[in-house]
Amino acid sequence: MTISTFYYESPLGRIEISATDEVISSVLFEDSAKKQSPKLPATEHLSPEIEKCVLQLDDYFSGKIADFDVRFKHSGSDFQQKVWAELCRIPVGKTISYLELSKRIGNVKAIRAVGTANGCNQIGIIVPCHRVIGADGSLVGYAGDLWRKKWLLDHEQKMVGLQQLTLF
């Protein structure tokens, strides 16, 4: 299985995208990717999923789309998979607390484990871990730095607002 890596220049800094020919395996801000895995050289052959991901990131950052439909696959425990699947159910422009996320997966006592699983998300932006906030509404716990979390949430709020305006 060949892994392709591409470095995408976003408004928030460079993003490292890795994928096989079939699925995206990671989307990480380069500075946070260094903490998680060794840096791989960019590959000349881009998988079709990376090409699709790049186009959708362009559209996301320009405000044309709010949701992604690239194929991706996380590596993680069953518990982590459950948390990450629930992240994908948080609507664009909305946030939930870690407590609410633990309730949604059916284990209110797992709030710390939920936070840990959220922090292990390797497919940032697409699997929207940035939409999880503290119970008091504060921005907490984002591997890509809190200023990026704020930017992403503000960006999505603007997109939702624009979508609502075009409905009338």
Residues marked active site are found at 129
Q: 6 - beta bridge partners?
A: 17
- The conformation of residue 138, written as its DSSP 8-state character, comes to -
The answer to whether the beta carbons of residues 39 and 20 sit under 8 Å apart is no
Tell me if 27 sits within 8 A of 126, measured CB to CB. Answer: yes
State the pairing for strand pair 4-10/13-19: antiparallel
